[in-house]
């Protein structure tokens, strides 16, 4: 498989992980304070990544990069690992997992807009058709009054816009900095900022005496977040941002199915129709990207040497 093909496969894997992550996140902020849940979740991932980076590169690895890359990494930490996490998880307490997933998966639209202007990436008409079909598929999940643009939804939209800017900056940095190091910086800065915010808000005492369900959701949430940042940055380093960001959209379908199984305990025909549109749109995007022919796509050799893991 070529570099871009590996990126496509990793982006699809990231979508699966993200679908589970959104579902788990909703449960997590339901049983815990969102600041406590987010602080612990991000903090655990940061610690694990610190251990991995220390062993592979040494903690002084940042000193080997230029001033420009260091500034970009700082912005990635603030715009990707800090502010939007707070917005997303607080917003998630005020809306459904499905609504949150739909808004978050509009990320590809904002990334495409920014990437065309700042990364000089191009979209063909056929790819844009795929984007449209995917959007229709997501919108089919919602009936008349099922979706409202309230405070929670606006907070998640704000987080999504921050992540769109972060992805464009990350795409530039990943030309010189390994995906693992970028993920480490992002989560480490995020852990510090979110934890300090939690303490300033006077919630520090809530870290003590967590219940078993709270601990379980933090562990599962941290696991999905760890896998997400690794696979996502690896995908972004290998393929165009306009391409891989669109391949995250099937996550909404996965979140919808999980919600149907465990919460509403029903899978509606609208969900099946939506899934069909999303799959069709993703196939359009992949095939018309000119980087791959559909029969050759395999989920093997995902962790190419370029991932630097």
183 versus 304: the higher-pLDDT residue is 183
What is the pLDDT at residue 300?
47
**Distance of alpha carbon 297 from alpha carbon 6, whole angstroms:** 9
Taking CA atoms, 304 is separated from 55, 125, 135, 202, in Å, by: 19, 31, 31, 45
What is the pLDDT at residue 308?
52
Instruction: Please state, rounded to an integer, the average pLDDT across all residues of the chain.
Output: 89
What is the pLDDT at residue 81?
95
- 40 has a pLDDT exceeding 90: yes
- 253 has a pLDDT exceeding 90: no
- 263 has a pLDDT exceeding 60: yes
- 92 has a pLDDT exceeding 60: yes
**Distance of alpha carbon 28 from alpha carbon 250, whole angstroms:** 22
306 versus 12: the higher-pLDDT residue is 12
Per residue in 219-251, pLDDT tens? 999 999 999 999 999 999 999 999 999 999 888
**Distance of alpha carbon 75 from alpha carbon 182, whole angstroms:** 11
What is the pLDDT at residue 10?
97
What is the pLDDT at residue 72?
97
For residues 21-34, b (16+ Cβ closer than 10 Å) or e, as one string? bbbbbbbbbebbbb
Residue 267 three-state SS: coil
- The pair of structure tokens assigned to 217 is 């959701």
What percentage of the chain reaches a pLDDT higher than 70? 92
Lowest mean pLDDT of 75-89, 119-133, 182-196, name the range.
119-133
What is the pLDDT at residue 140?
81
What's the average model confidence in pLDDT over 163-190?
97
178: left (phi over 0), alpha (psi -120 to 50) or beta: beta
Residues 175, 166, 233: CA angle, nearest 5 degrees: 50
What is the pLDDT at residue 147?
66
Identify the band that residue 297 occupies on the pLDDT scale cut at 50, 70 and 90: very low
Identify the band that residue 146 occupies on the pLDDT scale cut at 50, 70 and 90: low
Cβ neighbours of residue 232 closer than 8 Å, sequence gap 6 or more: 10, 11, 14, 248
Judge whether 218 and 37 are in contact, CB under 8 Å: yes
What's the average model confidence in pLDDT over 4-23?
94
What is the pLDDT at residue 291?
66
């Amino acid at each position: 498989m070529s570099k871009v093909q590996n990126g496509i496969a990793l982006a699809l894997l990231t979508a699966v992980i993200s679908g589970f992550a959104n579902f788990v996140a909703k449960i997590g902020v339901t049983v815990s304070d969102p600041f406590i849940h987010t602080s612990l979740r991000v903090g655990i991932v940061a610690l694990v990544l610190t251990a991995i980076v220390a062993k592979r590169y040494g903690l002084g690895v940042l000193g080997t990069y230029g001033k420009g890359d260091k500034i970009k990494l700082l912005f990635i930490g603030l715009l990707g690992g800090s502010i939007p996490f707070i917005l997303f998880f607080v917003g998630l307490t005020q809306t459904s997992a499905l609504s949150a997933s739909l808004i978050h998966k509009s990320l590809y639209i904002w990334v495409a807009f920014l990437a065309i202007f700042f990364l000089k990436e191009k979209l063909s008409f056929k790819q844009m058709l795929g984007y449209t079909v995917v959007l229709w598929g997501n919108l089919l999940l919602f009936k008349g009054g099922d979706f409202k643009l309230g405070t929670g939804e606006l907070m998640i939209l704000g987080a999504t816009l921050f992540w769109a800017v972060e992805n464009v900056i990350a795409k530039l940095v990943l030309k010189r900095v390994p995906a693992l190091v970028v993920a480490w910086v992002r989560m480490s800065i995020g852990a510090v900022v979110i934890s300090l915010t939690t303490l300033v808000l006077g919630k520090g005492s809530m870290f003590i005496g967590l219940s078993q369900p709270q601990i379980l959701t933090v562990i599962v949430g941290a696991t999905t977040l760890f896998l997400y940042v690794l696979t996502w940055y690896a995908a972004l380093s290998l393929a165009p941002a306009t391409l891989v960001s669109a391949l995250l959209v099937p996550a909404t379908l996965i979140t919808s199915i999980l919600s149907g199984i465990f919460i509403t305990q029903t899978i509606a025909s609208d969900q099946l129709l939506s899934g069909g549109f999303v799959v069709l749109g993703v196939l359009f995007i992949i095939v018309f990207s000119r980087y791959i022919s559909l029969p050759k796509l395999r989920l093997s050799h995902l962790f190419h040497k370029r991932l630097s893991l």
